[in-house]
Amino acid sequence: MLLEVKDLVVNYGGIQALHGISFNVDEGEVVTLIGANGAGKTSTLMSLARLTRPEAPEVRRGDILYNGESILKTEPHELVQNKMMSLVPEGRHIFGNLTVQENLTLATYARKGETSEIEDTEDLVYSLFPRLKERRKQRSESLSGGEQQMLAVGRALMTGATFIMLDEPSMGLAPILMYDMFRALREINKAKNMTILVVEQNAKVALDFASRGYVLDTGEIIAEGSSDVLRNDERVKKAYLGG
């Protein structure tokens, strides 16, 4: 098991956001965590990435195992340095005053001496997202929302991580761009055996993309299974798939 989350409880001060969730992701899998606003999706990903910024939640109970070892004491930069995971955060957080190319290059800081591997990844990113290639010298703040989302994904790939986590990548994207994005992610999964964990409110898209998933409801996992099973789950249909 690449990632094993066990009975995770996280708090923001006195507010408990996750009430003991457990789930796992195997190497090479594409797994989704679906849930509505405030379900705890972002809190889960922030906890996994071990973010320590002030707005990040605090783990109060449970464990997060990566290849069988707890990462609760691991610093976020170590996760990046060791290419263990890369998070595409909610709201993208790209550097607007830098060009597309500069944003991508900046993401390779942990890959010193890997010149040819970095070039390969860059070729991959530009072939997955030709729009980025056309705009490589453009300042990122002038990209459209969808292009910025592609850049955020491209940057996660440039770190060389073998496991990427995405926080609502479909947010704000027109359907066609959304499907392009998921198609690109599936290609990376196939070509590179990339492990992918995606959290989404858009259950339909998420279940079409992932092979299995979990349903997160106000900090608890209330259903899990293959995408087929979840698509036909009454609660999922009622709450997330428009009846």
Binding site for Mg ion (CB under 5 A): 41-42, 90
Candidate segments 40-48, 59-67, 68-76, 157-165, binder of ligand ATP by CB under 6 A: 40-48
Tokens of 191: 């070509």
Count of residues of this chain found to bind ligand ATP when the rule CB under 6 A is applied: 14
Q: Check: CB of residue 2 under 8 Å from CB of residue 69.
A: no
The Cα 144–Cα 69 span in angstroms is 40
| Interacting positions 62-101 with ligand ATP (CB under 6 A) | 90
Q: What is the 3-state secondary structure (H, E, C) of 195-229?
A: EEEEEECCHHHHHHHCCEEEEEECCEEEEEEEHHH
Residues 28, 44: Cα–Cα separation, whole Å: 20
- Binding segment for ligand ATP (CB under 6 A), chosen from 33-41, 142-150, 183-191, 221-229, is 33-41
- Using the rule CB under 6 A, is 201 a contact of ligand ATP? yes
The string of DSSP codes covering 108-153 is: TTT-TT-HHHHHHHHHHHHHH-HHHHHTTTSBGGGS-HHHHHHHHH
For position 52 contacting ligand ATP by CB under 6 A, the verdict is: no
Which of 31, 35, 88, 224 forms a contact with ligand ATP (CB under 6 A)? 35
Q: Which is nearer to ligand ATP, 122 or 224 (CB)?
A: 224
If the CB atoms of residues 38 and 130 are measured against ligand ATP, the closer one turns out to be: 38
Q: Which of ligand ATP, Mg ion, none does residue 109 bind to, with CB < 5 to 8 Å depending on kind?
A: none
Handedness of CA 218, 224, 226, 229 (dihedral sign): negative
Residue ranges binding ligand ATP (CB under 6 A):
12, 15, 17, 35, 37-43, 55, 90, 201
